[in-house]
Structure 1
Amino acid sequence: MLRLSLHYSLRTALTRTFRMPHARVSRSRATTGNAVLWLLFAGMVLLTSCGTPETLIKHKTPELPHQFSTNYPIDTLRHTGRVSWKDFFLDPALIRHIEDALRVNADLLQASARIRQVKAAYTAAGGALLPSLQVRGRTGGDRFGRYTMTGVGNFDTNLSDRIDDKQRVDENFTPEYYLALESSWEIDVWGRLRQQRKGRRLEYLASEEAYKLATTMVVTTMAELYFTLQALDDEREIIEKELQLQREGLEKTLILKETGRTSELAVKQFEAQVLNTEALLRGVLIEINAVENAINALKMQANQPVDRSPDFFMQSMDSAVVLTTPANLLFSRPDIRRAELLMKSAGADVMAARYAFFPQLMVNPYVGLNAFKSSLFFDPASLAFGVMGHMVAPIFQQNQLKAGLRFQKARYEEAQLEYNKTIVNALNEINTHLVAFDEYLKISRLKESEARTLKVAETVATQLFLNGYASYLDLLTVRREVLRTQLDFVEATLQRKVARLKLYRALGGGWF
């Protein structure tokens, strides 16, 4: 580390002012000194810049496709990514659950704490560009030997007839009293501090995008659990109704057995069907309890009832449809904006690491009181001020600085790859959920038609069985298929809603 210091004080100014006979000599020396300083400065810059590696920052964004595999043009894709979740969801109970979760969810609180941390780092980086100011006070004393420069100087000073009694120095013990305001300011000549501040600012903005992403995850997770709970409620209701019909069928089969119109085998088959359906009902109750606990966990509570709207099939999320463009489609996503900001922040850190190879210019002014007698400390003549400038250039730190630059460049490359990966994942997510939404819509319609058809078949099979024109196996098979199809219809409807929900999240989740 090479240090070059420039010092200017009031004493120097007075000396140059009152030494009139030597004015020309002083000017000549000053001119020569300035020339030497500029030569030293240029030499330091040249010496350090020769060892500065070249910084290349290149980035190429993945190309956007013209359309998805579902034949939806990307520039006319109908989506709800710009709609707030309060407008996207129409269920008042669901909205209340989401609001409760957003107030107390641990992930959001952690994201909020992260924002405060990065904001503090950004404030600190901005403060590095400004001068620091501190109060410094010191007191002490020295007894200088008579054969030292200071001791001889004090002795000679006391013999002078040009000083008064206040200026005479105690030769046995010389105290010193100092109290001043001191400042330190690094002049950001090359932009290193500005790049560091830029990097922290971009990290702060990225933390805000991370908070938005966490909010979207909480909203969509709560909605998915809520829809699952509603679907399980419908499945429970379907199973309970079917179980009631099966029990009635078992009673009728027992009557038919007593009249000799059917066998014990038919009775046992009906009993087995009832037991199987009861076990199925117990499994659904277990799932309902698990989903309720998951909802309570999002709300940071335990063992609380979860209210929900009873009608699962009548609620729709297909309203509030808007158009978008390819750029808006992707860059309305908080995760993409976060990845982009982190990449730019890493790029700013690369530039700051490169500028660390150049000399640093520091200025240190001060103003205060300085005296060697306590009785003279507050005398106006004890006022002292000055300014010192120094320049620090790294000479034997090249390996350390180069290692730091390589580290920052590797971070930038990692952030660049993460940014590109996030864009590609976003495109695939949109395509996946868009296809799923379309296909599950078709599946739910098919299952609904199948359920209606099998219901008619069940009625016919029941009448034929009671009249002796069909076997009990035919009736059991039809009823089993009816139950399966009804449950499949509920599951397809749930998956359609979940696909729509995930598509909403993939398109930005309302953070346009």
Structure 2
Amino acid sequence: MKKIVTVKYVILLFCIVGLGACKVPAITAKQENKSVPKGYNNSQDTTNSANIKWRAYFTDPNLIAIIDTALLNNQELNITMQEIEMSKNEVMARKGEYLPFVNLGLGAGVVKAGKYTWDGFSEDDLKENPDKGPKYIGEFFTAANFSWELDVWKKLRNAKKSAVLKYLSTTEGKNFMVTNIIAEIAESYYELMALDNLLAIVQQNIELQTSALQVVKLQKDAAKVTQLAVNRFDAQLLNTKNLQYDIQQRIIETENRINFLAGRFPQRIARNSADFNKSPLDMIQSGIPSQLLVNRPDIRQAELELSAAKIDVQVAKANFYPSFRLTAGLGFQAFNPLYLIKPESILYNLGGDMVAPLINKNAIKATYFNANLQQIQAVYNYEQSILNAHIEVVNQLSRIDNFTKSYETKSKEVEILTQSITISNNLFKSARADYMEVLLTQREALESRMQQIEIKMKQMHAKVNIYKALGGGWN
């Protein structure tokens, strides 16, 4: 009867410990907001340019070849690929934690007890009676040990789910990196073509101004103008010559930026810049904002990280509950290896244990609170990625519209000023215009043509960036 009462007290003690351990502090979670406007500029057309493959969006074969090289050799991308493999291995590790562990052990050794121990006393006894046993005792064994933590609260399985989501998020991060690399290469490629055209314009103006300088020198010899006019024309020619050196340096740096992204040493970038001003700006279909949640890799990455953070809270919460483990062992042990195979040498054990935190749970609480705060951070990060994506699309749509109008206006200005150069030269030759008018017209025409090229470059950059903003380029 007394034994039954003792068992009851032991069971009651376990219940008290279990209930005390299972008490979980209250936390405040945050729910993410996925709402976005219905359309851009009141348009609700679902046709989306992001669905176009990048090889079809960028039709220049030279640009496509560079991008292909970069996707193979870019060091940053290859570093990310290794991180993805590490995340994959983490999934394997988390999966292994909730499976049983079986270990095989072998051992051998000899033991001699000290003289003034009970075992040593027995050895002294053996000296007087040598037939009783060996002076040195052997220790030989072979055994298999089994252990298995019972995942009662799904802590280990949730940890594996979290690792899977983090692995998927790194994959989306790689896709976003691919999008950025393609966009950066395309931007630099169009910038390189624009610089080629700027250099060509400057060189054309150098020829034009050199010819004008010769005319002014002849007029000075004929006493029609003074040395001041010659100096002004000469100074403008030198200024224009100086422009080409800056452009040539920018070309070198832009080429090497592309080479760096392509993972190769400096070399010339193949391109055809002759028709840069005629580069088409295809009609962009922006679709609707809700498509960003599916098309943008960075948004999908943030969403997966949020899902993983939510599961991490559950994993941290499970640390408050008792953990259960089964252990077992089976093997052979003997003081002589010849006896290992005998049935009398068999040993085995079977047990189970429950471990629960009772006093000083500060570390568990801190982990739990931090997991919850990380989940809240992930919510804000997810919402920020959606907001950022929407603003990027709106900005790029506006840039395309405004740069298209600006290019049309600037083209008319270039046409007028190009005509004005011929007119001013003819008037100057007939002494009906001052040389300052010729200089001013040449300078304005040069600046206008250079501005036209820069606007075209901004147009092409907007074409690249709207594609990236909509979520295109990674597929």
Aligned-pair Cα RMSD in Å: 3.0
Q: 2:22–2:322: 8 Å Cα contact kept in structure 1?
A: no
Tell me the alpha carbon deviations over residues 6-48 of structure 1, each in whole angstroms, 9 at most, x when there is no partner: xxxxxxxxxxxxxxxxxxx9xxx9x999978865654443121
Q: 1:105 to 1:317 in 2, by over 3 A?
A: farther
Q: 1:57–1:347: 8 Å Cα contact kept in structure 2?
A: no
Which residue does 1:234 correspond to in 2? 197
Which residue does 1:87 correspond to in 2? 56
Q: Which runs of 5+ in 1 are unaligned?
A: 1-24, 153-168
- Sequence identity, in percent? 29
Task: Output the CA distance in 1 between the equivalents of 2:211 and 2:163.
Answer: 71
Q: After alignment, is 379-388 or 106-115 more displaced?
A: 379-388
Mapping of residues 82-481 of structure 1, within 5 Å: 82-139=51-108, 175-310=138-273, 311-316=275-280, 318=282, 324-481=287-444
Aligned length in residues:
465
Q: 1:294 to 1:323 in 2, by over 3 A?
A: closer
Task: Output the CA distance in 1 between the equivalents of 2:429 and 2:116.
Answer: 131
Which residue does 1:16 correspond to in 2? none
Which residue does 1:157 correspond to in 2? none
Tell me the alpha carbon deviations over residues 262-285 of structure 1, each in whole angstroms, 9 at most, x when there is no partner: 332222221111111111112111
Tell me the alpha carbon deviations over residues 182-201 of structure 1, each in whole angstroms, 9 at most, x when there is no partner: 12111100011112111111
The one-letter code of the counterpart of 2:218 is I
The one-letter code of the counterpart of 1:313 is N
Task: Output the CA distance in 1 between the equivalents of 2:425 and 2:135.
Answer: 124
Matched, 1:45 2:18: yes
Task: Output the CA distance in 2 between the equivalents of 1:494 and 1:77.
Answer: 28
Task: Output the CA distance in 2 between the equivalents of 1:65 and 1:279.
Answer: 51
The one-letter code of the counterpart of 1:64 is V
The one-letter code of the counterpart of 2:32 is K
Q: 1:143–1:171: 8 Å Cα contact kept in structure 2?
A: no
Which residue does 2:33 correspond to in 1? 61
Give the deviation of 1:329 after TM superposition. Answer: 2.3
Equivalent of 1:505 in 454, 460, 468: 468
Q: After alignment, is 467-476 or 135-144 more displaced?
A: 135-144
Q: 1:136–1:181: 8 Å Cα contact kept in structure 2?
A: yes
Task: Output the CA distance in 2 between the equivalents of 1:490 and 1:353.
Answer: 58
Q: After alignment, is 326-335 or 92-101 more displaced?
A: 326-335
The one-letter code of the counterpart of 1:374 is P
The one-letter code of the counterpart of 2:37 is P
Q: 1:185 to 1:145 in 2, by over 3 A?
A: farther
Which residue does 1:76 correspond to in 2? 45
Task: Output the CA distance in 2 between the equivalents of 1:491 and 1:206.
Answer: 38
Give the deviation of 1:128 after TM superposition. Answer: 0.3
Give the deviation of 1:370 after TM superposition. Answer: 3.1
Q: 1:175 to 1:54 in 2, by over 3 A?
A: farther
Q: 1:297 to 1:467 in 2, by over 3 A?
A: same
Task: Output the CA distance in 2 between the equivalents of 1:77 and 1:235.
Answer: 39
Q: 1:398 to 1:34 in 2, by over 3 A?
A: same
The one-letter code of the counterpart of 2:71 is L
Give the deviation of 1:108 after TM superposition. Answer: 0.5
The one-letter code of the counterpart of 1:65 is P
Secondary structure class of the residue paired with 1:420: helix
Which residue does 1:160 correspond to in 2? none
Secondary structure class of the residue paired with 1:303: coil
Secondary structure class of the residue paired with 1:229: helix
Task: Output the CA distance in 2 between the equivalents of 1:59 and 1:304.
Answer: 52
Q: 1:317 to 1:35 in 2, by over 3 A?
A: farther
Secondary structure class of the residue paired with 2:174: helix
Give the deviation of 1:440 after TM superposition. Answer: 0.6
Task: Output the CA distance in 1 between the equivalents of 2:281 and 2:138.
Answer: 83
Give the deviation of 1:78 after TM superposition. Answer: 5.5
Q: 1:454–1:481: 8 Å Cα contact kept in structure 2?
A: yes
TM-score by length of 2: 0.89
Q: 1:236–1:284: 8 Å Cα contact kept in structure 2?
A: yes
Secondary structure class of the residue paired with 1:184: strand
Q: 2:32–2:382: 8 Å Cα contact kept in structure 1?
A: no
TM-score by length of 1: 0.83
Task: Output the CA distance in 2 between the equivalents of 1:245 and 1:263.
Answer: 21
Task: Output the CA distance in 2 between the equivalents of 1:455 and 1:263.
Answer: 27
Q: 2:178–2:473: 8 Å Cα contact kept in structure 1?
A: no
Task: Output the CA distance in 2 between the equivalents of 1:112 and 1:317.
Answer: 34
Secondary structure class of the residue paired with 1:313: helix
Q: 1:350–1:409: 8 Å Cα contact kept in structure 2?
A: yes
Task: Output the CA distance in 2 between the equivalents of 1:278 and 1:270.
Answer: 12
Secondary structure class of the residue paired with 2:50: coil
Q: 2:400–2:459: 8 Å Cα contact kept in structure 1?
A: yes
Which residue does 1:162 correspond to in 2? none
Secondary structure class of the residue paired with 2:276: coil
Q: After alignment, is 266-275 or 235-244 more displaced?
A: 266-275
Task: Output the CA distance in 2 between the equivalents of 1:102 and 1:511.
Answer: 11
Q: 1:106 to 1:511 in 2, by over 3 A?
A: closer
Secondary structure class of the residue paired with 2:277: coil
The one-letter code of the counterpart of 1:222 is I
Tell me the alpha carbon deviations over residues 53-107 of structure 1, each in whole angstroms, 9 at most, x when there is no partner: 1344321315312344xx252x326542222221211111111111112222121
Q: 1:332–1:511: 8 Å Cα contact kept in structure 2?
A: no
